[in-house]
Chain A
Amino acid sequence: MNTWHGRESVDLLTDLIDRELVDPDGLPVGRVDDIELRRRPDGLWEPVAFLTGTAALERRLPRWGRKLINRSAKLTGGPDDTRRIPFEAVTDVNTSVSITRQAAEAAASPAEERIKRKVIGRIPGAGHASQ
């Protein structure tokens, strides 16, 4: 079976990096900011995990961008450690990368959680989607 989710060939930067990672409900978990490669015993390299998070993103930006993102992240308690999603957790690939619920929960952004708890969650009605 020489396809990976329907593809014979994948260019990591063009096809995977900067795409959105989504959970089974279709909600974004983050963007693919980097991909981890590992060398196999037979000498070939393979991509093993997606990396997402401000820290991984920063590295790809020009210096002014890095500073900007870093300072902004600090305002909300970040920047957070990079989160890792193993390739095995991928359930589908098209314009976004769908991952399993467990992987999505493990990779949830701590910044999102902090802001939910400290700001948004405190406002009445935060639990309801607009009805």
Chain B
Amino acid sequence: MIDLEGPVLVTGTDTGVGKTVVTAALASLLLSRGNSVEVIKIAQTGDENDAAEITRLCGVRARALTAYPDPLAPFSAARRSGLPLLELEDVVEAASDVQSDVVLLEGAGGLLVQLGAGGWTARDLASELGCPAVVVARAGLGTLNHTALTLEALTRRVIEAAVVIGAWPAEPGLAELENLKDLPGPRLGRIPEGAAALEPEEFRRRAPGWFDLSESPDSVLDQVTGEASLLITSSGTALRMKKLMALTLGVFSAIGGFVDLGDIVASGVVGARYGLGLTWAVVLGVIGICVFAEMSGRIAAVSGTPVYGLIRDKLGPGAALVNLIASFAVTLLSLTAQIGGIALVISLASHIPHIVWVIPVGIGLWLVIWRVKFDNMERAFGLSGLTIAVFAVALWWLDPDWGALGQQVASVAPPAGEPLPTYLFYAIVLFAAAMTPYAVFFFSSGGVEEGWKPSDLRTQRLNVMLGFPLGGLLSVGIAAAAATVLLPKGVDVKTLDQVVQPAILAFGAAGLAVALFGFFAATVGAALECGLSCGYAMAQYFGWPWGKRVAPKRGARFHLTVGLCLLVGVLVVQTGVDPIQVTEYSLVFTAVALPLTYLPVLVAANDPDYAGEHVNGRLSNGLGIAVLAVIVIAAAAAIPLMILTRMGA
């Protein structure tokens, strides 16, 4: 089914098929989905005022770009009246320069009627804008041919289309009923005859019911975010398949998205020094992040409030400001580390020093945030991050002493000769690497952006409960590989190319390529999350409009904040500071700042205002408090241990 976002052309198989009523009905549908809409009538001809009619029916702002007095095709009407013709560029600009989520463009007459200077048609407009077309068709005899011709004309220019029957008779005859079965194209809806005569309130109320946004069973499974798939299609299997795909993708994205530069470095360093002896810390971290993310996600789905939204409400502006400054600083530090990490990864692949790459990386990140669609972005980097599994595969390939590894996992004390404080320091570092708050800011804000509802709870819970633990396994894979290859050699991991060794050892250049690709995806994904989270935290504290789902113009301060943070990150890394060191500091401070963000979320998860009927039960609260205890201990011990052990030397 076509995407009802941005500009959408409403055209017809003929004149008088009901485009105006369909436009008004579509607008009502979009309003009912929470979108903002406006309508542009490209050229009004004759005495009628379609724009006013649309506004009357559905209350949406509608205007005509130009009007000609004669009831002819616009090109001809203009010629007769001597009034100027519309330029295609002007219409494209008018259609692009709107504030609403969707702008419906109503043509005049059929698809290939000439509308303006040079004879451009509605089809040319849709092609220029890259937007889909809604084709309004008749119900009765003759419609099959007209509809097929119109659709073919659109397909020729690669314009996506869907069909709406403009006036379905109250008492359909044989022709109408047969045509209903044979009408080509994805069927978007069917407007009953006489709809324009309804009272506007009734029209608005009934209009959404005239449409069917579900996928037809033969179409490609493209819209996998599960949007509007609550309507029954004629093939229940296709619907279930689609939901399953959405779930799988979500889980895989979470797995791949779990790992960032902090996890990579911490796992590599720890693996080379303690083998798998600190796996218990990773387990604690994974449990912690699952609990934290689940509560935040639940709150986002039930109340539409992202984490930073509730912090100010729960703590008051003063305490929340302290919180904001701390979280913002830590997230910015993480962002800096990730940017450095990306540059490092590219330098490992290209043999050109990382300093050179910093500015291009910064620009690239900003462009992605500026232009790329939210869920595509998340999915792409999450899935690509799965390739970090190459370390687990390398491990298996290198045939390690599984028994020894198993023993290490079970141990909760430092190996002989290793001082306890350093051991505990690294435990905190690993724990913090798993429990990064920015991930939770991003996750919950993303949930609000994607419009999660309570019905999405189960899916999101599964994403979290499956995705994060499996993501933790990826980190453990890096540590285990390091344990097998680097620990016996007594390597003290300080650089990224050391962490990559096991992959090279097992698979040579191919292993290196895959590992670097995975690191690239993980660090880019993390950098995007950190950058956006800085913006989310700031915007949500102050109450600014925010998000990628609105045009940057409508979230100006949000985008400015994100842009400035990227700039700061780039500048800091340009000074030549070692990104690995920055990462280690960012992890320590993450641990310290955690309680500030976690506690209000735990409290909000118990508040019916925020969690509705899905407030924490005994188990959630038990786990929640246990995690809180660990977080507080880690926060208290982090800096003293850092100083005592001189950053784990």
Residues of A within 8 A of B (CB): 18-21, 25-31, 33, 52, 57, 60-62, 65, 68-69, 76, 94-96, 109, 111-113, 115-116, 119-121, 123, 125-131
Q: Are A120 and B559 within 8 A (Cβ)?
A: yes
Q: Are B556 and A121 within 8 A (Cβ)?
A: yes
The verdict on B542 contacting chain A, using a C-beta distance below 8 Å, is yes
The verdict on B414 contacting chain A, using a C-beta distance below 8 Å, is no
CA distance in complex: A128, B100 (Å) = 10
**Contact flags B551-570 to A (C-beta < 8 A → 1, else 0):** 11110110110000000000
CA distance in complex: A25, B609 (Å) = 21
For chain B, give the interface size range. Answer: 35 or more
Contacts of A28 in B (CB 8 A): 539, 543-546
Residues of B within 8 A of A (CB): 5-6, 34-36, 96-98, 101, 303-305, 309-310, 312-313, 316-318, 320-321, 370-374, 539, 542-546, 548-554, 556-557, 559-560, 609-610
Q: Are A96 and B556 within 8 A (Cβ)?
A: no
CA distance in complex: A60, B305 (Å) = 23
Q: Are A126 and B373 within 8 A (Cβ)?
A: no
Q: Is the interface of B mostly helix, strand, loop or mixed?
A: helix
Q: Are B609 and A95 within 8 A (Cβ)?
A: yes
Q: Which residue of B lies closest to A116 (CB)?
A: B556
CA distance in complex: A53, B553 (Å) = 20
Q: Are B560 and A120 within 8 A (Cβ)?
A: yes
Q: Are A115 and B557 within 8 A (Cβ)?
A: yes
Contacts of A94 in B (CB 8 A): 303, 609
Contacts of A30 in B (CB 8 A): 542-544
Q: Are B543 and A119 within 8 A (Cβ)?
A: no
Known: A28-B546, A115-B560. A127 touches B97 (CB 8 A): yes
Q: Are A125 and B370 within 8 A (Cβ)?
A: yes
Contacts of A95 in B (CB 8 A): 303-305, 309-310, 313, 609-610
Contacts of B305 in A (CB 8 A): 20, 95-96
Q: Are A127 and B556 within 8 A (Cβ)?
A: no
Q: Which residue of B lies closest to A25 (CB)?
A: B36
When A and B form their complex, which 3 residue pairs have the shortest distance between CB atoms, in order from nearest? Answer: A31-B543, A116-B556, A30-B543
**Residue in A69, A126, A130, A131 whose beta carbon sits within 8 Å of that of B553 in the complex:** A126
CA distance in complex: A108, B386 (Å) = 43
Contacts of A126 in B (CB 8 A): 551-553
Please give the distance in Å from B290's CB to the nearest CB on chain A: 24
Q: Are B303 and A131 within 8 A (Cβ)?
A: no
CA distance in complex: A26, B316 (Å) = 23
CA distance in complex: A33, B317 (Å) = 9
CA distance in complex: A20, B554 (Å) = 17
Contacts of B560 in A (CB 8 A): 115, 119-120
Q: Which residue of B lies closest to A19 (CB)?
A: B313
Known: A25-B36, A125-B371, A131-B373. A120 touches B317 (CB 8 A): no
Q: Are A129 and B557 within 8 A (Cβ)?
A: no
**CB<8 Å pairs between A and B, sample of 23:** A18-B313, A18-B316, A19-B313, A26-B304, A27-B550, A28-B545, A31-B312, A60-B317, A60-B318, A69-B321, A95-B309, A95-B313, A96-B304, A112-B556, A119-B560, A125-B552, A126-B553, A127-B96, A129-B5, A129-B6, A129-B101, A129-B550, A130-B371
CA distance in complex: A104, B6 (Å) = 23
Known: A112-B544, A121-B556, A128-B6. A18 touches B312 (CB 8 A): yes
Contacts of A127 in B (CB 8 A): 96-98, 551-553
Given contacts A20-B309, A30-B544, A119-B556, 17 further A-B contacts (CB under 8 A): A18-B316, A20-B543, A26-B34, A26-B304, A28-B546, A31-B312, A61-B317, A61-B321, A65-B321, A94-B609, A116-B553, A120-B560, A121-B556, A125-B552, A127-B98, A130-B548, A131-B373
